Amino acid sequence: MQFIRENSTVLIAGILYTAVSGFLIWQDMFYLTLASLGMMAIYITVYHLEYAYLGLAFLAPLSINIEEYTDGFGLFIPTEPLLFGMMLLFSMKQLNNGNIVDKRIWKNPIILAACFYLFWTFVTSVTSTNPLASFKFLLAKMWFIIPLLFLGPAVMKKRLNIRLFLWFLSISMVIVVLYTITVHSFYNFGETEGHWVMWPFFKDHTIYGSAVALIIPILFSIYFSKKHNPLIRVILYVMMSITLLGLYFSYTRAAWLSVIAAVIILGIIKLKIHFKYLAAVGLIAGSIILVSWDRIQMELERNKFEHTTEEFGERFQSAANVTTDASNLERLNRWSCAIEMFKERPFFGFGPGTYAFEYARFQKPENLTIISTNFGNLGNAHSEYLGPLSEMGVFGLIAILAIVAAIFYHSIKLYFRWPKEDVEIRTLMLGMILALVTYFVHGVLNNYLDTDKASIPIWGICAIFIALDLSLPNELSKVKDSNN
């Protein structure tokens, strides 16, 4: 309500603009709408950078890739042009006065890990087998990371903006889920149709499932963060129900597994289980798997459940089918190619963004599936970790692992240090941690950080943690003063 009172003029103008745009589209004059939308985006970015940043959270799930309508030129509209403009504007302002970025962020482990990642991406772009593709990849990474991660802490220092970012992201994603469920219902929720009914907002069910899984912990954290009035509680309950339904009908096994992983991590955090005990359990489990590998492999080969079945239990069991399931076998094929690419160029890799151009010749005949192509034109390595290994060598893998380690070390440490009296922020922090768990667990099987659908929520949440870290001393001093 505070945001509405302070920005009533902007909101009224936005409603009027939406109405006029709808009329123009109805009259087949959508080009006028696109032109005016571009002008409005430029105005907001230049004069209201904070609003532009928050708007990204709402726009990300609703953005559309124009690759479908061009000769292979991929660009998410309107988010990527907006991010590119924000990057340029932010860079110019920073060079001009140097006061936008709080100097304390340079000590933050997430910032340091991201800077190392960008640096190594640049180095391997220079040594790339396809420099043009690699520098395009680097530029895209820069317009995702620089405005979201470096400008974000200045925006997120206001608690209201943290709430708005999470609300906008959640509302927008629920809109997409409602659209998807509605379209899917026309096909009786068939599994085959479930692969594409989220178009044009998402290209397939895997990235859609990843986005739905990410939003679930955020919605639950908003619900439990404070005592809402009855209307807001009902709205949140409906939103949570819709997203859970969307997750089920996404038919995305990796998304289901990632939510289970988040629940396990929730238990670990709540029980305050020490890392050394987790490491011991991991070591014992690894040893058991190593000793029993032959028996495990025999059991896996007996698993004939296919992911095409619509029965939930059988679909879940099909995640371990490495004998007949084409989806699983193709993923193993891509991983095998990534490892072979690493073996050929272990230090610099083939260059960022080059996997799709190189992996074809690394496919082994025994690994080919019914969905494999000899031209190797079906995309990436299906792993947020093996992709950088093949494209940027061993330091590429180290860079992405450093980012993941920095994010969880920093966020979980901040959660335990944050004053217990501040239930709202602690609950939101826990939800954001679990949201990141869903993505980076999903990242073992797929990689989407080169899209706005994943990058905006991931880097935006990281910016929130950095902002909270900067404000922690003030929060602790408030608690200390109240106790005196």
Using one digit for the tens of pLDDT, what is the confidence trace for 406-441?
A: 999 999 999 999 999 999 999 999 999 999 999 999
Residues across the chain: 484
Confidence of residue 302 (pLDDT cuts 50, 70, 90): low
* Contact indicator for 238, 258 with CB cutoff of 8 Å: no
- Phi and psi at 92, nearest 5°, equal -65, -45
Confidence of residue 127 (pLDDT cuts 50, 70, 90): very high
Confidence of residue 118 (pLDDT cuts 50, 70, 90): very high
Determine whether 204 is exposed, middle or buried from the number of CB atoms within 10 Å of its CB (0-12, 13-18, 19+): middle
- pLDDT greater than 80 at residue 282: no
* Contact indicator for 40, 21 with CB cutoff of 8 Å: no
- pLDDT greater than 60 at residue 10: no
Confidence of residue 225 (pLDDT cuts 50, 70, 90): very high
* Contact indicator for 33, 24 with CB cutoff of 8 Å: yes
Q: CA-to-CA distance for 459 and 464, rounded, in angstroms?
A: 9
Q: CA-to-CA distance for 326 and 315, rounded, in angstroms?
A: 13
- pLDDT greater than 70 at residue 325: no
Determine whether 55 is exposed, middle or buried from the number of CB atoms within 10 Å of its CB (0-12, 13-18, 19+): buried
Q: Compute the average pLDDT of residues 360-381.
A: 77
pLDDT for the residue 70: 65
Q: CA-to-CA distance for 272 and 409, rounded, in angstroms?
A: 14
CA dihedral 3, 232, 265, 57 (to 10 degrees): -40
* Buried-exposed string 267-292: b where 16+ CB fall within 10 A, e elsewhere: eebeeeeeeeeeeeeeeeeeeeeeee
pLDDT tens profile 338-354: 999 999 999 999 999 99
pLDDT for the residue 327: 75
Q: CA-to-CA distance for 429 and 299, rounded, in angstroms?
A: 40
Report residue 386 as tokens.
């093996």
Is pLDDT larger for residue 201 or for residue 1?
201
- Phi and psi at 389, nearest 5°, equal -60, -45
Name the helix (H) or strand (E) containing 77: strand 76-77
pLDDT for the residue 384: 94
pLDDT tens profile 134-174: 999 999 999 999 999 999 999 999 999 999 999 999 999 99
The DSSP secondary-structure symbol of 76 reads: E
Confidence of residue 132 (pLDDT cuts 50, 70, 90): very high
Instruction: Write down the mean pLDDT value for the chain.
Output: 84
Residue ranges of domains in the chain: 25-95+111-484
| Range name among 94-103, 290-299, 329-338, 411-420 with the lowest pLDDT average | 290-299
Q: CA-to-CA distance for 6 and 2, rounded, in angstroms?
A: 6
- Phi and psi at 413, nearest 5°, equal -60, -40
Confidence of residue 178 (pLDDT cuts 50, 70, 90): very high
The DSSP secondary-structure symbol of 64 reads: E
| Range name among 123-132, 183-192, 323-332, 335-344 with the lowest pLDDT average | 323-332
- pLDDT greater than 80 at residue 277: no
